[in-house]
Amino acid sequence: MQNQLILLGTKGCHLCDDAELLLQALNLPYAYTDILDDEKLLQRYEISIPVLLYGHDEQANALFWPFDTEKISGWLTSLS
């Protein structure tokens, strides 16, 4: 499976909404995952959202809030 950008968040999280706007401003394709739908994600990221993941499972690279468009772009560049 190809690496994918995943935004972890939950409903009612204004920082998660801000993170979505940043990804949209950069025109980056991403999937949104609500951590409330996965107990493991909830336990791991409950106090950290929003979090961007690149990759899947335990091997995913994570970018934790706070971030802006520059930080996202630099992080993605460092992964390639």
Strands 5-9 and 31-34 turn out to be parallel
In the predicted model, residues of the chain with pLDDT beneath 50 are 1
Number of domains in the chain: 1
**How much is the pLDDT for 71?**
98
Distance of CA 12 to the CA centre of its chain: 16
What's the pTM value of the predicted model, to 2 decimals? Answer: 0.90
* CA-closest candidate to residue 48, choices 63, 68, 60, 36: 63
| Domain extent at residue 55 | 5-79
CATH number, residue 67: 3.40.30.10
**How much is the pLDDT for 75?**
96
**How much is the pLDDT for 1?**
36
Q: Kindly state the tokens that stand for 37.
A: 């739908």
**How much is the pLDDT for 58?**
64
